[in-house]
Amino acid sequence: MTQELTPKPPRHIAIIMDGNGRWAQQRGLPRVAGHRAGAEAVRRTVDACIKSGVEVITLYAFSSENWSRPESEVKALMQLLDRFLKEKTKEMMQQNVKLQAIGRLDKLPEKTRKRLEDAIQTTANNTALTVNLALSYSGRDELTDATKAIAQQVAAGELEVDAIDADTITSNLYTHGLPDPELLIRTSGEFRLSNFLLWQLSYTEIIIFNKFWPDFDESDVLHAIEQFHSRDRRFGTI
């Protein structure tokens, strides 16, 4: 195939990285071993997305609801995130990867939030791939925060109620500035959104993988992109 005939990859892929706990349970391991293996799958996915020319991936790493898990699991997840940021910043610089994050980041432990901010700042000018981590994230929280921000602009006389449109909402979301995901991947065979990117996924193509997240690899990314190209996206028209 010549270069011109190769279809463009999706600009933005969103991923619900699900099934770490079940992956570990199947092997008689503690759930945290699944989360550790899941971090390796993130590395493989980032590599594959860079190679494929994807611009942005948004990874659902920790939901607002996940705070309700047992304290020991939450603590282990925060420690893993902390170590991931500590170890990967150098690699992200080498790979020209830019890190971003969405969610109620103020809820993260102080040390982890600082590390996250440092990594975001260090990688801010990188241009190969944007890795957007959804942390302490909830789609309903995001829409609630956007609604509050818009109401404040109206109250301050900066915005007319009649001027509010879909773009007003889009530009007040945590994801402002990013294109909507064209492709959503969820692993572990569950058919639900679990409060992820409720506004942004309106016309996104969805691909569910039956495997658990720690088993996800580069060939799955390529398979998902291929599937995406075979979809007939109509956006409500005929």
What's the distance, Cα to Cα, between the start and end of the chain in Å?
A: 30
Binder among 33, 42, 49, 62 for ligand IPE (CB under 6 A): 62
User: Which residues of the shown chain bind Mg ion in the complex (CB under 5 A)?
Assistant: 18
Comparing CB distances to ligand IPE, the nearer of 54 and 76 is: 76
CA separation for the pair 140, 21 (Å, rounded): 25
Q: Residue 228 touches which of Mg ion, ligand IPE, none (CB < 5 to 8 A by kind)?
A: none
137 secondary structure, DSSP code: E
Smallest gap from residue 174 Cβ to ligand IPE (A): 15
18 annotated active-site: yes
Please report, as residue ranges, which positions from 71 to 130 form the binding site for ligand IPE (by CB under 6 A).
77
Q: How far is CA 109 from CA 5, 67, 76, 116, 235, in A?
A: 48, 12, 12, 11, 41
Q: Are 200 and 180 in contact (CB under 8 A)?
A: yes
Minimum distance, C-beta of residue 204 to ligand IPE, in the bound complex (Å): 16
User: 3-class DSSP state for residue 185?
Assistant: strand
Which option in Mg ion, ligand IPE, none does residue 62 bind, with CB closer than 5 to 8 A by kind? Answer: ligand IPE
Least Cβ distance, residue 35 to Mg ion (angstroms):
11
Which listed residue (13, 14, 33, 60) binds ligand IPE by CB under 6 A?
60
Q: Does 17 bind ligand IPE (CB under 6 A)?
A: yes
Does 42 interact with ligand IPE (rule: CB under 6 A)? no
Q: Which helix (H) or strand (E) holds 220?
A: helix 218-230
Pairwise CA distance, residues 149 & 108, whole Å: 22
Whole-angstrom distance, CA of residue 61 vs CA of residue 40: 13
Instruction: Spot the catalytic one: 47, 66, 126, 215.
Output: 66
User: Considering beta carbons, is residue 18 or 82 the nearer one to Mg ion?
Assistant: 18
Q: Does 194 bind ligand IPE (CB under 6 A)?
A: yes
How many Cβ atoms from other residues are within 10 Å of residue 23's Cβ?
24
Residue 63, both tokens = 């939901």
Query: Min. distance of Cβ 64 from ligand IPE in angstroms?
Result: 9
Count of C-beta atoms within a 10 Å radius of residue 208? 15
Is 121 exposed, middle or buried (CB count within 10 Å of its CB: 0-12, 13-18, 19+)? Answer: exposed
Site for ligand IPE contains 32 (CB under 6 A): no
- Of 20, 58, 100, 112, the one binding ligand IPE (CB under 6 A) is 20
Q: Which residues are catalytic?
A: 18, 66
Tell me which residues touch ligand IPE (CB under 6 A): 16-22, 60-63, 66, 77, 188, 190, 192, 194, 213
